[in-house]
Structure 1
Amino acid sequence: MSTKANQAAHRVLDMLHGRARKVAKGDPLAPPIINAAKYALPGAPDHPFPYGRFDNPGWQAIEDAIGALENAPTICFPSGMAAVTAALMALAGPGARVLLPSDGYYTVRVLIDDFLRQHGIEPVLVPTRQMDGYDLSGFDLVWLETPSNPGLDVCDIKAICERAHAAGAKVCVDNTTATPLLQDPLALGADMVVASDTKALAGHSDVLFGHVASKDEALIERVRQWRKLSGATPGPAEAYLAYRGLMTLELRLERMCTNADALARLLQGHAAVSAVRFPGLETDPSHAIAAKQMVRPGFVLGATFRSEEAAERFIDDCPAIFHATSFGGIQTSGERRARWGDDVAPGYVRLSAGCEPTDALLAAVSQTLDTL
């Protein structure tokens, strides 16, 4: 087992047994759903649970569990974008210059353009593949998303963090497509990590959730304060669902990553597909860096078909692909990303490999490809 994989395995053990080590006789292993806006608070208001907007035992359970994987204090949020907003508010003050991937999740760019520019925040957009050589002088924050969504380009987190810190900038990494089990940005030098746990971490396509993690106590306290003051708080039931899904993350990722690798190699060799993007392919431009900083290259891949029509037919006709936006669920899903305005070919399909039996998944996909 590689060093990265061994470290991840020990963090999984801590995640799975963290709550179990603390429960008293007769306490439930699963965290209870506590629907509470009010708590008993006589005397000085110095209790961890003074009011429902401040904290909830269910939040603490999921934060402890994700924190075991991140190896860092973690704050949970009601969605990935709520986590992104909290990170930006903690890291980018008025007038900040922010280096942002032009090929990352587009909603982050829209948020900055529509709301944060009014505070003088200046975004500079650069493709992920150009981040490694980009001059970081004069930036306050470098925002990375690697592998990028949806193009699956990769940049060198450790090298960028070293250059950013030398230039006086903080680094935040959106680690949604990798999860802390496949990539550890904080260990590579990032100041903060954000993720949409709606995707693989919760994994069952039934809850919106997100988190922020950082080893910097001052930064994580700013994130906590933002959640309390803004009211960007997750529901107790949502925290429970995220916790329940998290418990099987390692098992799901094992099958999802195996399926993604098999799908990439099947698609790469088929006449109906003109190009495949997957960091696990030796011919992929992201392969070398991904192999260096990731435990495995992930479960998301891209396939370019000859036309928009062929791409849509492939998704709709394949009985093993669920046609939807988002990714990271148990079912393999696909989406033609150009329909959202992403800078990809009209026939580019982002595939998120699910947990189906590998041979059955490959057979269904292969049969559909042969009809295109």
Structure 2
Amino acid sequence: MGRKTGEMLHLRGNALTKGEPVALPLTQSSMFHLPGAPDGHDFYGRVNNPTWEHLEQVLAHLEDAPCLAFPSGMAAISAALFATVKAGSRILIPSDGYYVTRVLADRFLSGLGVIVTERPTTAFSEGGFDGIDVVFVESPSNPGLDMMDLPAIASSVRAAGGITIADNTTMTPLGQRPLDMGVDIVVSSDTKAMGGHSDLLMGHVASRNTDVMERVEEWRRVSGAIPGPHEAWLLHRGLETLDVRFDRMCSSAQVLAERLAAHLAVKDIRYPGLPSDPSYTLAQAQTTRFGFLLSITLETQAKAETFINTCPMLRPATSFGGVHSSAERRARWGDDVDPAFVRLSVGCEPVVELWQAIDASLNAL
């Protein structure tokens, strides 16, 4: 991906004419000067915007596929699902993945006549995929960090006549490339590591299937689920440092995971980069990095809360992927995990200082 990220930084620059700004301009306008016939020009802010369009060019470069931006990760997930299902469709989703995807399916899609089935990540292929129209996958799962065999699942789903949608938020295109493994559609919450600074909500959908992308674009246009120009501008700026941030975060996560695995206060740890982890073999085969998320389970809920709330280099906050390391007890949102389970998102702090803070906080429990 080194060449991809290097070229990305100069996509705009190599197309500039003399005197144009190097930094991407922010076009904050709902209207465009449009005498006569539209003739393919930008014409209305719900349909197109020059700032989004350049952002989408950069995202498409990273995904190596056409891309459309959305105002949040869930807006991207919604667009991918509403573009591919109809009344009577059967969809399969992970029972242990991001809980809001399950809420969308259970509370809304099922009410429109879509038949929803759930399976756990580690047994996702059991029962096969015959008769299932859309298979939604998430690997590593959030928050458990279990993985599934993406190439095998994508191949089986295609053979059964269905399509696959992969949520690649936890890994980004730099860590895992589902489209290259046969997945039909990728969705991502760019609120997380892609933006990286905890100051925007954004998402994207990418696919090499032209018909799918036409449907996704139509959904965005008619539903009004459009990104704001300022958020698009912020995401574009964040993407310019994604490579260096992701490298730092993943490298630090590996160091922390190895040390936490040996810490007496830690009852259990999950990180795909540990040879003892159940996801290690699949992660080696499917990812270029092991990611920046890890989880630890402490002795009690009270100790988990104390650790999260007193460690000076951890922000007690939901979401993940920012430059600041953060942590939270996922059981508070209803995830089926131990009450003392802590999801830890490793940021960009110097790893020596970060470990010292975490170690001291654990030792004080």
* Residue 342, structure 1, aligned to residue 328, structure 2: no
* Residue 328, structure 1, aligned to residue 293, structure 2: no
Q: Deviations over 1:258-288 (max 9, x none)?
A: 1111111111111111000000000000000
Q: What does residue 144 of structure 1 align with?
A: 137
Q: Deviations over 1:262-321 (max 9, x none)?
A: 111111111111000000000000000011010011000010011110101111111111
Q: What does residue 46 of structure 1 align with?
A: 39
Q: What does residue 163 of structure 1 align with?
A: 156
Q: Deviations over 1:236-271 (max 9, x none)?
A: 111000000010000001110011111111111111
CA distance in 2, matches of 1:303, 1:161: 31
Q: Deviations over 1:221-240 (max 9, x none)?
A: 11111111001111111100
Alignment of 1:252-291 (within 5 A): 252-291=245-284
User: What SS class does the counterpart of residue 13 from structure 2 fall into?
Assistant: coil
Extract unaligned runs of 5+ from structure 2. Answer: none
Alignment of 1:1-372 (within 5 A): 8-372=1-365
Query: Are the counterparts in 2 of residues 305 and 347 from structure 1 also a CA contact under 8 Å?
Result: yes
User: What SS class does the counterpart of residue 360 from structure 2 fall into?
Assistant: helix
Q: CA deviation at 1:23?
A: 1.4
User: What SS class does the counterpart of residue 187 from structure 1 fall into?
Assistant: helix
* Identity %, equivalent residues: 50
CA distance in 2, matches of 1:215, 1:119: 28
Q: Deviations over 1:180-222 (max 9, x none)?
A: 0000000000100000000000000000000000011111111
Q: CA deviation at 1:367?
A: 0.8
CA distance in 1, matches of 2:355, 2:325: 11
Which stretches of structure 1, 4 residues or longer, exceed 4 Å deviation after superposition?
Answer: none
Amino acid corresponding to residue 185 of structure 1 in structure 2: P
Amino acid corresponding to residue 338 of structure 1 in structure 2: A
Query: Are the counterparts in 2 of residues 11 and 71 from structure 1 also a CA contact under 8 Å?
Result: no
Query: Are the counterparts in 2 of residues 41 and 47 from structure 1 also a CA contact under 8 Å?
Result: no
Q: What does residue 3 of structure 1 align with?
A: none
CA distance in 1, matches of 2:84, 2:283: 26
Query: Are the counterparts in 2 of residues 145 and 175 from structure 1 also a CA contact under 8 Å?
Result: yes
Query: Are the counterparts in 2 of residues 48 and 55 from structure 1 also a CA contact under 8 Å?
Result: no
Amino acid corresponding to residue 269 of structure 1 in structure 2: A
Q: CA deviation at 1:45?
A: 2.2
Q: Structure 2 length as normaliser, TM-score?
A: 0.99
Q: Deviations over 1:139-170 (max 9, x none)?
A: 00110011110000000110100000000010
Q: CA deviation at 1:113?
A: 1.4
Residues 48, 123 of structure 1: CA spacing in aligned structure 2 closer, same or farther, 3 A cutoff? farther
Q: Structure 1 length as normaliser, TM-score?
A: 0.97
Amino acid corresponding to residue 318 of structure 1 in structure 2: C
Q: CA deviation at 1:24?
A: 1.2
User: What SS class does the counterpart of residue 144 from structure 1 fall into?
Assistant: strand
CA distance in 1, matches of 2:3, 2:307: 40
Q: What does residue 5 of structure 1 align with?
A: none
